[in-house]
Structure 1
Amino acid sequence: MFDEKEVISRILRGDFRAFELLVKQYEKLVFYVVNRLVQHLEDKEDICQEVFIKVHQSLYKFKFQSKLSTWIARLAYLTAVDHVKRSKVGYLMDYPENIEDYHFTNHNPEAELLKKDTAAYVNLLIGQMPLLYRTVLTLYHLNEFSCPEIEQITGIPEGTVKSYLFRARKILKEKVEHDLNN
């Protein structure tokens, strides 16, 4: 059982093994958040390391006003968004004015192969979605954060989070149904 308060207390006293426990506990969460926002593998690895450096340097500021996972996910999100903004690739506001008119990339040979593996195919499609939609989907479905927690992580108002979730699920469902029936 991972006891946040005990582990944090040990880390703040300089126990490096306790920090290793924290990293093991949250490395998948950090990777999932970063993975959806950042394109290149080398960048993903660097950003994940940067997140844990920030966690270590800032842990004394954590006041248990949210879950530790929410706080770490927010650091991961903000670090990844900063990287995206600096690299100008897939800029944060990368979403169409009318998501109902959004179209996925066509004629992708990888997509054709993945149609046989529905989960992998859905992941590929999520990766093609506009940044904010794929972020919200990832945090909600893969990391099982609630809408209020996603608001804390991203700064996107809860109502907008719900709207993004609804729209993203709708276009994803329509795309999967269309492709798997053809």
Structure 2
Amino acid sequence: MPERELVALTLQGTLPAFRVIVERTEKLVIHIISGLVPGREDQEDLTQETFLKAFQHLRHFQFDAKLSTWIARIAYNTCVSHLRKKKIPLSYGNEVADMSTPDNGTDPFSQLTEKVVVEILQEAIDRLQPLHKTLITLFHQEALSITEISHITGLPEGTVKSYLYRARRDLRDFLLITYKNREAL
């Protein structure tokens, strides 16, 4: 069902239409929130708050971006407000995102190797500063465009590109240092 139709049905009071919107965007919202806010309980509360705000302000959605981008921006702003209100500095999320690889018929050793690589990469991503972690997640795991990420975060596109470059550089440096040192042991 197209976004415009889901929004129209929701605004007419059809709650199952909003449920579809939530189902389509919840993974993205969870990625953003878990990247910025520590603590599972706060993450769950902020996820609910995000969707409540989206529902309450849906009539203001102008379709100048994708609905998922608009809701992701609400999630991002809700996290930033939460952290400011509680005077909590941006910190690393404690939860590891589900990055399991699909079973593509490869042998078990290859699947295990891929899983180890994914775990190593996720560990490195978790060590990034929260904004860089969020940008990497949105771009590489959620496959959002630079423009969409710019809408979500309110950062200019050039800044998003620059931060993504820095985040990738930091990932590379961490992996090189960490695994070069392990080889020396």
Indicate the TM-score class for this superposition, using the shorter chain for normalisation: 0.7 to 0.9
Aligned pairs, how many? 159
What amino acid is aligned across from residue 29 of structure 1 in structure 2? L
Shift of 1:152: 1.1
Shift of 1:14: 0.2
Label 1:39 to 1:17 Cα distance change in 2 as closer, same or farther (>3 A). same
Aligned to 2:84: 85
CA RMSD of aligned residues (A): 1.8
Aligned to 1:142: 141
Instruction: Extract structure 1 runs of 4+ deviating beyond 3 A.
Output: none
What amino acid is aligned across from residue 129 of structure 1 in structure 2? L
Q: Would the aligned equivalents of 1:38 and 1:80 in 2 still touch at CA under 8 Å?
A: yes
Aligned to 2:67: 68
Label 1:117 to 1:39 Cα distance change in 2 as closer, same or farther (>3 A). same
Shift of 1:17: 0.9
Label 1:43 to 1:71 Cα distance change in 2 as closer, same or farther (>3 A). same
TM-score by length of 2: 0.80
Aligned to 1:56: 55
Shift of 1:62: 0.5
Query: SS where residue 117 of structure 1 aligns?
Result: helix
Q: Would the aligned equivalents of 1:148 and 1:158 in 2 still touch at CA under 8 Å?
A: yes
Aligned counterparts of 1:54 and 1:66: Cα–Cα separation in 2: 17
What amino acid is aligned across from residue 122 of structure 2 in structure 1? N
Shift of 1:125: 2.4
Aligned counterparts of 1:81 and 1:120: Cα–Cα separation in 2: 27
Deviations 1:133-175 (A, max 9, x none): 1121111111111112211111111111111111110110121
Aligned to 1:160: 159
5+ unaligned residues in a row in structure 2: which ranges?
Answer: 93-114
Q: Would the aligned equivalents of 1:34 and 1:77 in 2 still touch at CA under 8 Å?
A: yes
Counterparts of 1:108-119 in structure 2 under 5 Å? 117-119=116-118
5+ unaligned residues in a row in structure 1: which ranges?
Answer: 95-115
Say whether residues 1:19 and 2:22 are aligned partners.
Answer: no
Aligned to 2:107: none
Aligned counterparts of 2:125 and 2:85: Cα–Cα separation in 1: 23
Deviations 1:104-127 (A, max 9, x none): xxxxxxxxxxxx822123223222
- Percent identity, aligned pairs only, is 41
TM-score by length of 1: 0.81
Aligned counterparts of 1:86 and 1:166: Cα–Cα separation in 2: 30
Q: Would the aligned equivalents of 1:12 and 1:60 in 2 still touch at CA under 8 Å?
A: yes
Q: Would the aligned equivalents of 1:33 and 1:77 in 2 still touch at CA under 8 Å?
A: yes
Shift of 1:56: 0.4
Deviations 1:44-78 (A, max 9, x none): 00000000000100100011111111101100110
Aligned counterparts of 1:123 and 1:135: Cα–Cα separation in 2: 12
